[in-house]
Amino acid sequence: MTTTSSDRHRIGIIGVGVISAVYLRTLAAHPRIDLVAVADLDMQRATAVADAHPGTVALTVDALLARDDIDTVVNLTIPRAHEEVGRRSIAHGKNVYVEKPLTATLAGASPLLAEAAARGTLVGCAPDTVLGTGIQTARHAVEAGLIGRPTAAVATWIAPGHESWHPNPDFYYLPGGGPLLDMGPYYVTSLVQLLGPVVAVTGAAGRSRDERVIGSGARAGERIPVEVATHVTGILEHAGGALSTVVMSFDGFRSAARPIEVHGEDGTLLVPDPNAFSGPVEHTARGVDGWRELDPAAGYIDADRGVGLLDMLGAAGIGPSTNRASGDLAAHVLEVMMTMLTAADEGRRLPIDSRPTLPPLVPLTAAAIWRGTE
C-alpha cells in the first residue's frame, strides 16, 4: 500500500503504553494524519487515550486490524509481540511502522519483510531519532570530508537499568530486551548512517545478576527475573573499512564518555545522544584549534518520535515516501546486534549477510514543514 505525498494517511495504534504519548504528540496533531483507532490489551487504557483524541475509537486488536479505514498500523507493543502484530497487520494489507527492535528474534525479520514486499505494503521501524539534526549533520560532515577517510568510532551507553524508573520493566530483561536491543538500535543505526553497513562483528557479553528490583510505581520492591545479557561490548567492521567499538550496559551507573565519537585520518566528530533528535555536533581537524560546533546542515529540525512514520508515508513535507527509517535498515541493525550476542557466546568473529542501501540525507527541514503547519 505505497502512498504518495498527496495522500491523507489513516492510522491505528496498537499498544498505548509509556512510549505512545510521544508518538501521539507528533501524529495526532498532524493535518494529514487521521488517528482512526487505538488498541491495547488494557481496554481501559485504550479508552482513555481514545477519549483524549476526538474522532478516535478504542478497539480490540482484532477489531482494529479488520478496519478497512486504517491504512497503517503503528506497532508500539512490547518487543516479543512486534513480529506477530506486524505480520498480522501486513496480512490485512496494512503498512506497518514499529518501535524498535523490528522483531524480537533475527529469524522473524526476513519473513515479515518478505510478506510486506509480496503484498506491496511498507515497513518502517524506529529509531527515527537518526533523522534529526544531530546524526544527520554528523553524517553530512563525514560525507563532506571534514574528517578525511573515516577509520574508527566509539559508541558508549552505560546506566543502572530501567527498573529504577519504569513501573513495568519486565520486558527489558526478557528475550528481545537487554541494553543492546533496547538502547543499541539508536547507536548501531547511527553508526550505520555515519559509516555504512556492517560486514562482520565480534562480541562479549555478561550479566551482573539474575534478578532486578522494581524501583517505582505500584510494583515497587517486586523482584523480576533477568534472562538476557545486561552488559554487551562488540566491534563492528564497516564495509568502508572503519571499525566501531560499542558498549551497551545496564550494569554500570554513569559515564562521562561522549555518546559517539567518529575518527578519521584528518579529524574527529563528537556526535550527540542518538536517543535524541538534536544536539551539538563538534569537530576538530588538522589545522583547527580545539573544537568547533557545526551549524545544523541536515535533518528534521526539532523533530520528535513519529517523524520516521511521516517520512515513510510521504507526509513530512519534503516529497513522496523515502522511508529512511526502513524495515530493511532495521533488519540489518537487528542482524548486527543479534550476531554480536552470538559472537559473544561463541567467542569468534562472525559475518553479517545483509547489505541495506543507505537512505539519502534528510535535507535541513524546518519544524513547520514536517509538522504540516506551513
* Residue 175 pLDDT level (bands cut at 50, 70, 90): confident
Tell me: the pLDDT tens digits for 182-206? Answer: 999 999 999 999 999 999 999 999 9
Cell of 330: 532495521
Domains, in order of start, for the chain: 9-125 (3.40.50.720), 129-295+327-351 (3.30.360.10)
DSSP 213-280: E--SSTTTT-EEE--S-SEEEEEEEETTS-EEEEEEESS-S---S-SEEEEESSEEEEE--TTSS---
pTM confidence score: 0.93
How much is the pLDDT for 1? 44
Give the mean model confidence (pLDDT) for residues 165-191: 92
How much is the pLDDT for 374? 84
Yes or no: say if 14 and 75 are a contact pair by the CB < 8 Å rule: yes
Residue 165 pLDDT greater than 60, yes or no: yes
Reply yes or no: is the peptide bond before residue 31 cis, omega within 30 of 0.
no
Tell me: the pLDDT tens digits for 12-38? Answer: 999 999 899 999 999 999 999 999 999
For residues 116 and 123, give the distance between their C-alpha atoms in angstroms, rounded to a whole number.
Answer: 7
For residues 374 and 369, give the distance between their C-alpha atoms in angstroms, rounded to a whole number.
Answer: 5
How much is the pLDDT for 152? 98
How much is the pLDDT for 2? 43
* Residue 320 pLDDT level (bands cut at 50, 70, 90): confident
Which distant-in-sequence residues (6+ apart) come within 8 Å of 303 by Cβ? 128, 129, 131, 132, 133, 277, 278, 367, 370
Tell me: the pLDDT tens digits for 290-315? Answer: 999 999 999 999 999 999 999 999 99
Q: Return the C-alpha torsion angle 248, 252, 253, 257, nearest 10.
A: -50
Q: How far is CA 212 from CA 161, 216, 307, 322, in A?
A: 9, 12, 34, 41
H or E element, residue 326 = none
Tell me: the pLDDT tens digits for 56-75? Answer: 999 999 999 999 999 999 99
Reply yes or no: is the peptide bond before residue 101 cis, omega within 30 of 0.
yes
How much is the pLDDT for 158? 97
